[in-house]
Structure 1
């Protein structure tokens, strides 16, 4: 059985956006690739901007994977959780970079994207807020010292993930020094201090 039109549209849009970029992509092409009526995009998302917001705010598979790394406090060693969060954060930012870059290249679309985020309470800060809330729960469970500011730690973690995703996106694989696993472990150790 085929997935519902909404999911087919999301999958097709994510794939096409990565392949072609946002500026040249039309709702007609997305609908064709999704085997859905073009009106389904408007019905499910309110149009191209709504679809973009859904992809970036909630629907990217990498976003869900990032949330899954935040296991209940005490279930795994905190260092392992931080490494996992960093690793999945890099995947999340790498997936979202082409989408955001495409939107930013079109000033009108980007302004609409920003306005819709303000109206809906969505945007890139949600991932940061989720990680900060998770780290605060870990702190309450005794997994992190009381002296740690969970929001600052989340900002450092997300920033490290985003910087690595951006550097590899622009510079290509192998641009960063050292092996990925060692780099993530070093960042986790730094954050644990």
Structure 2
């Protein structure tokens, strides 16, 4: 496996986490799959919790895709952007839910994960802040009404995405009413009501 050890470790960890889940995953397994020394996980990430934090805060492909939905203000209609943000948010939360649930289920790992997030100023609030900052930029350029509250909208976007991911994960794909496209459109319309 070519490339820097850090990236190989991230790629291997993401693949193994999706295959096995976090509870059965060891740093030795990750190092072996990455063709790297086990100590390089500690060197690059500070351990398993640091690696999990890096994956959930920066490295999941679904997170990068979610960030890509925030196209420059004015490039696409605001409603289209909101639909895309919620849609990609659902995809991200669907991918991250098993990882987060596994970390929460392991008390020691979760305590370390919380501390790592605190120390690195990372965590789930970053998605809310990034979307709020993006919506503020849209407001500045006139794409979003001055009366809109970007932070409240970001909370609603992330909350709607996370709730749909959770409901489908637990209850199956038919647990929610309507189609995903219908829900996305209705949510975007609700967010824009009186603010566009």
Please indicate the TM-score interval, normalised by the length of the shorter structure: over 0.9
Hey, what's the Cα distance between the residues in 2 that align with 1:142 and 1:184?
23
Deviation at 1:19, TM superposition (A): 2.2
Deviation at 1:100, TM superposition (A): 0.7
Q: How many residues align?
A: 193
Deviation at 1:133, TM superposition (A): 0.3
The CA RMSD measured in Å over matched residues stands at 1.2
Q: TM-score, normalised by structure 2?
A: 0.94
Hey, what's the Cα distance between the residues in 1 that align with 2:167 and 2:68?
25
Hey, what's the Cα distance between the residues in 2 that align with 1:34 and 1:40?
10
- Does 2:24 align with 1:24? yes
Give the match for residue 33 of structure 1. Answer: 33
Hey, what's the Cα distance between the residues in 1 that align with 2:169 and 2:9?
25
Deviation at 1:23, TM superposition (A): 1.6
Q: Which runs of 5+ in 2 are unaligned?
A: none
Hey, what's the Cα distance between the residues in 1 that align with 2:177 and 2:9?
38
**Deviation by residue 1:83-125 (Cα, 9 ceiling, x = unmatched):** 1101110111111111110110011111111111111111110
Give the match for residue 87 of structure 1. Answer: 87
Hey, what's the Cα distance between the residues in 1 that align with 2:2 and 2:187?
42
Which deviates the most, 30-39 or 56-65?
A: 30-39
Hey, what's the Cα distance between the residues in 2 that align with 1:172 and 1:17?
21
Hey, what's the Cα distance between the residues in 2 that align with 1:169 and 1:5?
33
Hey, what's the Cα distance between the residues in 1 that align with 2:170 and 2:115?
28
Which deviates the most, 74-83 or 179-188?
A: 179-188
Hey, what's the Cα distance between the residues in 1 that align with 2:170 and 2:107?
21
Give the match for residue 71 of structure 2. Answer: 71
Hey, what's the Cα distance between the residues in 1 that align with 2:32 and 2:165?
30
Deviation at 1:128, TM superposition (A): 0.6
Hey, what's the Cα distance between the residues in 2 that align with 1:79 and 1:3?
40
Give the match for residue 190 of structure 1. Answer: 190
Give the match for residue 6 of structure 1. Answer: 6
Give the match for residue 44 of structure 1. Answer: 44
Give the match for residue 150 of structure 1. Answer: 150
Hey, what's the Cα distance between the residues in 2 that align with 1:38 and 1:29?
9
Hey, what's the Cα distance between the residues in 1 that align with 2:18 and 2:170?
14
Q: Which runs of 5+ in 1 are unaligned?
A: none
CA shift in 2, pair 1:177/1:3, >3 Å: farther
